[in-house]
Amino acid sequence: MKLTGKKTAPYRYLAPTIILMIVFMVIPICMVIGYSFVDGAVVSQNPEFVGLENYKTIFADSEYIGAISNTIIFVVVSVVAHLVLGMLFAMLLNSKYFGTRTKTIARVVYILPWVFTASVVAILWKLMLQPSGIVNYLLSVFPQISQNTEWLSNRSIALGVICFINIWCGYPFYMISILAGLQGISGDLYESAAIDGSTATKSFLHITIPQLKPILISIAMLDFIWTLQSFNVIWMLTGGGPVNSTETLSIYIYKKAFQKVDYSMAATAATILLVVCIFIAIFYVKQQKKVRE
Amino acid sequence: MKLSTILKKGLAVGLMGIMVASLAACGGKEEGKTDAKTDAKTEDGGSDSKSSDVTLKFQQWWGAELPEGYLDDICAKYEEETGVKVELLTAPWADTKTAITAGATNGTIADIISVDGAWLSEFVDMGVLTDVGAAGVDSSLASDIWKVDGKGYVVPVLNFAYPMYVNMDILKDSGVDAIPTTWTELRDACKKITVAGNSAFALNLGTTNANGIQNVFMGTGWGSGISLKDDSGAYKTKDNAGLASLAEMFKGLYDDGSLYPGMSTLEESEMTSNFAAGNCAFTVASAATMSQFTDINFEATTIPVKDDFKDKSGICYASWAVGISDSCENKEEAAKFINYLLGGMDGKDGSASAGLAATMSAFPNSTVAEPDYSKAPKQFQAYYDLYKENYVINEFIGLPNASDVMTSMTNDLTTYLEGDIDSATLLTNWQGYLDEAGK
């Protein structure tokens, strides 16, 4: 077979992409997986192969279990709240009761949190949530609710506050996606349902939701993966503290690698996270395939 | 084959040929140039033929904190005098450790690297650093060299002491007549300040960079001669009466509501900016931050000591320090540059070190530097006298896994202050972290 022949043409077209993927994805991922099976990866001249020992150690680490627990709470609460809020705001913007100008202004206002970068979000909320910040100032008119609450420094509420901030900056993505889906649903369906005596709730449950299902599943899957890997906002707001109460898996991995210089354990945690993400990605791809069919 | 195809292929081959030829020509020219230079020097006698071909890479965070171009000027002057080029690789402090670790891994580590005290042991374990004495650093030029197992690996250039800053206006508003000098006076002053509606004492226990345990907590302890170590030099926190009293003093401040709110996520930079904004009465921070406090009426002093303590106070310090990477091919040249930073070309000119110290409100580690602090704030000049009367100490320098240990100690201190564990458990836990790190 000639290298310049017709049969090799597709491979030649694909070659740049394949090379880039191998260099920037496959090799680093394989290296990280490899690190998870050795002790003293990166920092040792002769890392020792330890098999699955790192995996045994990590599952016995209470800090890791705490990070898993925090991550599950953070991801589930964020994704569900994103979905509910996104749906709510999308339906509001799709409603016929508001004029075009009102809708346009509302759309701009609602999407603002998504436009901000993580550092802006973190600085903004850190300033507002300071014990002497504007949130406590506004709440001071209700002394029974708050008295100089340390929103980010109180172990019992810090994770909840982080979830709230993540929800605030993530819901517009859902809103825009669902709004696009809502605008694609034919009005005839609702008219027919109304003629048959369907209530608004029934129309929502039996027309809106089924019509939006492919979009909802897709964005929920994507959001699940993104939230699972969320790092910047948490790191800049609390650094995983106080006393690891907001430490998610991404923070745990970062601390292991760059504070404790334990690249082997960091790679082990990262590999486990990779496996979880791969399962979700497979589910996502299958869902996309189903939609196309 | 069609004519157009032949033309296209011909053009592609031609372009490739031109590119290859250009690259080869560039390489050839450079080679030629170098050869010519070397030849010329050899003809001159060849005394500095090696030096003039050397380029030293210097990884540091100093350039990001010094006035723009200051460090470049030092390097340019050094190049003028020796012909050795020093290429600066500047990153913020927070990124420098990662940059060095990554460089050590992939073989791109700089020749000279700036090292924080908390990284020393890890870098030695990783084999990143070389023995500076063997490389040719003149130990007589440095007051202190950081050692591990008897070998000197890192040479501090500047020392940053950690005074306690006092906002005099808050003290006056709160009816506190004088700066407290003992723990009892401090606690009483903090109570008055809190009652007057001000924030009293800042303790940063955030773990993004867990240095509050070192600078503020242990800084207060070292001031009163309290140590993490026993007489043999081993870390001993369990049943350490001095540490227990120190922990109880901070617990008292916490219970009185005197600690700055949000302490468990408070970072050093936030603490300093809050003090600069006039939001807090007492803050322990680097002397280098003094220039930020332009809008407040403040004093810089040593940290109040335990009531019965009469001896000299230990002052917490951090350093801008340098080491030579083990993979450096020009260790001798790197050592010469470090000697230059400390004592100039002849070992008697401490102007580079003195200039750096005066610019950064720091104290030189050079034995020949005589910094001119006449342009420094009057508070710095007054503190310099206190600095000379006392001594510097930092027991975390050289501690294996120092960042990790400090994070764990910080988390336990937060738990203790919030009342979830007692001081005996706190100190036993700390002993565990220190013992584990020692292994």
- pLDDT band of B50, cuts 50, 70, 90: very low
Query: Angle at the Cα of B205 (from B200 to B208), degrees rounded to 5?
Result: 135
Residue to substitute from B13, B205, B207, interface A, most A β-carbons within 10 A: B207
Mean pLDDT for chain B overall: 87
In this complex, the residue of A238, A255, A261 whose CB is nearest that of residue B265 is: A238
- pLDDT band of B10, cuts 50, 70, 90: low
- What residues of chain B lie within 8 A of the CB of A259, using their CB? 403-404, 407
Residues 6+ apart with CB under 8 A from B304: B164, B180, B181, B182, B183, B185, B186, B220, B223
CATH topology of domain B164-301+400-438: D-Maltodextrin-Binding Protein; domain 2 (3.40.190)
Q: Do domains B51-156+318-364 and B164-301+400-438 have the same CATH topology?
A: yes
Cα torsion A239, A241, A243, A245 to 10°: value is -120
- What residues of chain A lie within 8 A of the CB of B127, using their CB? 45
- What residues of chain A lie within 8 A of the CB of B265, using their CB? 152-153, 158, 237-239, 241-242
Residue A48 CA to residue A55 CA, distance in Å, equals 15
Mean pLDDT for chain A overall: 91
Residue A111 is part of which domain span? 67-292
- What residues of chain A lie within 8 A of the CB of B125, using their CB? 43
CATH code assigned at A173: 1.10.3720.10
pTM tops 0.95, yes or no: no
Does residue A158 belong to any structural domain of this protein?
yes
Residue A251 CA to residue A253 CA, distance in Å, equals 5
Residue B80's H or E segment, with its range, is helix B70-82
Q: Catalogue the long-range contacts made by B248-254 (C-beta closer than 8 Å, 24 or more residues apart).
A: B248/B423, B249/B183, B249/B187, B249/B220, B249/B306, B250/B203, B250/B217, B250/B220, B250/B413, B250/B417, B251/B416, B251/B417, B251/B423, B252/B187, B253/B186, B253/B187, B253/B190, B253/B200, B253/B201, B253/B203, B254/B417, B254/B418
Does residue A41 belong to any structural domain of this protein?
no
Residue B154 CA to residue B145 CA, distance in Å, equals 6
User: How many residues appear in chain A?
Assistant: 293
Does residue A223 belong to any structural domain of this protein?
yes
pLDDT in 10s for each residue of chain A, 293 residues: 567 788 888 889 999 999 999 999 999 999 999 999 999 888 777 789 999 999 999 999 999 999 999 999 999 999 999 999 999 999 999 888 888 888 889 888 888 998 899 999 999 999 999 888 899 888 888 766 667 788 999 999 999 999 999 999 999 999 999 999 999 999 999 999 999 999 999 999 999 999 999 899 989 999 999 999 899 999 999 999 899 999 999 999 999 988 888 899 999 999 999 999 999 889 888 888 887 77
Which of B439 and B178 is assigned the larger pLDDT? Answer: B178
* Mean pLDDT calculated for residue range B168-186: 96
> Is residue A259 within 8 angstroms of chain B, CB to CB?
yes
Residue B1: both structure tokens together: 């084959």
What are the sequence ranges of the domains in chain B? 51-156+318-364, 164-301+400-438
> Among residues B125, B16, B128, which one has the least CA distance to residue B400?
B125
Does the pLDDT at position B257 exceed 80?
Answer: yes
Q: A148 CA to chain B: closest CA distance, Å?
A: 9
Question: Which residue shows structure tokens 């027309």?
Answer: A207
Does residue A61 belong to any structural domain of this protein?
no
What DSSP letter does each residue of B220-259 carry, written as one string? HHHHTT--SB-TTS-B--TT-HHHHHHHHHHHHHHHTT-B
Q: What is the pLDDT of residues B231-255, one digit of tens each?
A: 998 999 999 999 999 999 999 999 9
Does residue A114 belong to any structural domain of this protein?
yes
- What residues of chain B lie within 8 A of the CB of A239, using their CB? 206-208, 265, 267
Pairing state of beta strands B112-115 and B146-148?
unpaired
Residue B200 CA to residue B314 CA, distance in Å, equals 23
Q: What is the pLDDT of residues B53-77, one digit of tens each?
A: 889 999 999 998 899 999 999 999 9
Partner A, chain B 403-422, Cβ-Cβ below 8 Å: 403-404, 407, 411, 414-415, 418
Answer whether B362's CB lies under 8 Å from B291's CB.
no
Answer whether B144's CB lies under 8 Å from B117's CB.
no
Does residue A214 belong to any structural domain of this protein?
yes
- Number of separate domains in chain A: 1
Does the pLDDT at position B39 exceed 80?
Answer: no
Partner B, chain A 205-244, Cβ-Cβ below 8 Å: 235, 237-244
Does the pLDDT at position B99 exceed 90?
Answer: no
Inter-chain residue contact A153 with B265, CB threshold 8 Å = yes
| Cβ atoms within 10 Å of B107's Cβ, excluding its own | 7
CATH topology of domain B51-156+318-364: D-Maltodextrin-Binding Protein; domain 2 (3.40.190)
